[in-house]
Amino acid sequence: MNSQSILMAKITYLSGNSESDLDTEMTSYVADNPVLAKEIQFVESFWQQPSEIVLEQPSEELDQRFYQMLDQAKVAQKSLSTADKKKQSLNVLHWLTNVLAPKPFTQFASLALVFAIGFNMNNHQIPSNNQSLDGLQKQVESLSSLVALSMINNGSTSERLTGVSYSLQTNEQNEQLNLALMKLLNNDRSSAVRLSVIDALSARTSVKAFEAELLDSIDKQIHPVVQIGLIKLLVNKGSNTSLSKLKVKSANNQLSIEAREFIDQLLAQRYI
Amino acid sequence: MKKLFVLVLISFAFVASPLKAKNYSVNLTNAAEHASIDIIVRNGSVSVVGYDGDTVEISSDITAAKTYGNHSSVKQFTLDDADVEIKELNNSVKIISLSVNYVVNLVIKVPQQSDLEIWVEKGGGILISNVQGQLGMSAGTGAIKATDISGPIVAETQAKNIHVDFAALHQNKPSYLVSHSGNIEIDISAKVKSNVEIDTLKGEIFSGNEDEFKKQSKSNNSMENEYGLLVLPFNGGGQKLSIHTYSGDVYIRNKLTK
């Protein structure tokens, strides 16, 4: 029994996939572990949110207003046509103009105008819906961060790998999670977990906040594949300063033979 | 001449015959729950087979790792403990051998759903069969062979091969196989849904799947395109199975479905 298994048991219960809540042993474990208790409390509060987001519905008068405006547009169009007919009788030139006038375009333009007004009236409530969705998304991100952190701190290699994978669904600015990822990158006993951290960082839009740490991390890696993974990440997303420092490391034989060869290859291909 | 013959016999006996061959049976605290088994062997090999039982059965076979000079008339004082340490607490079983001067070969039967963490530093590697729990393993200088498993699996070798024969692929957790210069070979059913992602710098890729590999990168960065991941979606894609080598080749074989 560990924090992760208790958290998962709680989530399973809250999501209705299990009929039994935490047993006595788990409850006493939670009582002795304030951090876990806080996580459980968060998970409970998350699940106690309304199960469905109440979206503000369009006004019931929407249809009525729409058809009212449509009628008004038709009336206006008819009066325009009548006026045209009167003018048509006045001279042949006007008659020809009327015959050649693009009536379908006029009708289409009127309808498009009515549609645009109706659409705008109906959609003025969207910002509040977006706010609800943003809030929900933040809560989901926060929950994903908790699950990711809990798994990353687990003893099993597979759980740590899964935790890194979960981190892809979280807010990139989460400092606690970023710290945990860097710790894994530098200290995890499994190269697979270290490589998965590099994969996760590669999926981010920027690694600017980590550049110095990633450069330092290269020196801490025993396995050439991890060194090469870090070099690829820095060449793809790093600054010119980092690339210069990489070249210095390579020139000073601070890297494995394989990593140095890779840098030479990138230099020859003018990627650096 | 006779003395020499006796000496040779004694030396041979130290090298070839087991110093200790012991069997252990470990009862789990809660046999209804699945077990987590951590195995650490500094010098030797580990073979694990899943079975229907609810105890962990361990057979150890210990032999000297090196031949000694003439020590017929002197007593041996060793600081290297060849014993295997075994502990169980709340279904968590630890099996540890830290000996360097002795080769410790373990054959272990575990309940089929057990989670395994195996760490072998050097020696004969790791064999796994018919275990359906989570697998994390590093074989150091040895090879890894896992058959009839469903993962998730995380496996790592240095220069020896990794061969995984998947019975199925766990769909909730990713798997990752890494080798520096060893080949990585997987046998996987063509019906399994998966995204096989391959990253190899100098290795070749051989696939029995008709689908084409695609570059994962969609950016205009030509370096990322050239050295980026190759992705092969099996049956429209599914859980991630990552394969990473430096110079080892990669073989993906479609299993004939029963």
Residues facing B244 on adjacent strands: B178, B199
Residue B156: its pLDDT value, please? 97
Instruction: Count other C-beta atoms under 10 Å from residue A255's C-beta.
Output: 23
B136:A156 CB<8 A:
yes
Q: Which residue of chain A is at minimal alpha-carbon distance from B176?
A: A192
- Do residues A31 and A24 lie in contact, with contact meaning Cβ atoms separated by under 8 Å? no
**Residue B215 to residue B226: CA distance in whole angstroms:** 8
Per-residue pLDDT band for A79 (boundaries 50, 70, 90) equals low
Confidence of residue A132 (pLDDT cuts 50, 70, 90): confident
User: Are the beta carbons of B177 and A192 separated by less than 8 Å?
Assistant: yes
Strand pairing of B239-245 and B194-200? parallel
pLDDT value of position B8 = 38
Picking from B136, B28, B19, B149, the residue whose alpha carbon sits closest to that of residue B83 is B19
Q: Tally Cβ neighbours within 10 Å of residue A166.
A: 21
What residues of A are in contact with residue B134 (Cβ under 8 Å)? 156, 158-159
Kindly state the percentage of chain A with pLDDT values over 90: 26
How far out from the chain centre does Cα B154 lie? 9
Quote the tokens at residue B242. 């990552």
pLDDT at A48: 66
Nearest residue on chain B to A203, alpha-carbon basis: B217
Contacts of A159 in chain B (CB under 8 A): 134
Which pLDDT score is estimated for B4? 41
User: Which structure tokens are listed for B88?
Assistant: 């169980």
H or E element at residue B218: none
Tens-of-pLDDT digits for all 258 residues of chain B? 444 443 333 333 334 445 678 899 999 999 999 999 999 999 999 999 999 999 999 999 988 877 778 878 887 776 666 789 999 999 999 999 998 888 999 999 999 999 999 999 998 999 999 999 999 999 999 999 999 999 899 999 999 999 999 998 998 999 999 999 999 999 988 788 899 999 999 999 998 877 777 877 666 677 777 787 888 888 788 899 999 999 999 999 988 755
> Does B136 contact A at CB distance below 8 Å?
yes
Residue A182 clears pLDDT 90, i.e. is over it = yes
Cβ–Cβ contact B159 with A under 8 A: no
DSSP output for A111-136: HHHHHHHHHHHHHTTHHHHHHHHHHH
CA distances from A186 to A148, A179, A220, A260, B96 (A): 18, 11, 6, 20, 25
Q: Give the pLDDT band (50/70/90) at residue A107.
A: low
Q: What is the pLDDT of residues A195-246, one digit of tens each?
A: 999 999 988 888 888 899 999 999 999 999 999 999 999 998 888 899 999 9
Cis peptide before B152 (omega within 30 of 0): yes
| Residue A100, H or E segment | helix A92-100
B181 touches chain A (CB under 8 A): no
Q: Does residue B70 sit in helix, strand or coil? A: coil
pLDDT at position B41: 96
- To the nearest whole angstrom, how far is the Cα of A163 from the nearest Cα of chain B? 9
Is B156 within 8 Å of A228 when comparing Cβ atoms?
A: no
Instruction: Reduce the DSSP state of residue B14 to 3 states and report it.
Output: helix
pLDDT band at residue A121, thresholds of 50, 70 and 90?
low
Mean model confidence pLDDT for chain A: 78
For residue B176, the distance in angstroms to the closest alpha carbon of chain A comes to 6
Nearest CA in chain B to A261: B201
Q: Give the one of B119, B180, B222 whose C-beta lies nearest to A224's C-beta.
A: B180
* Dist. CA B41–CA B162, nearest whole Å: 18
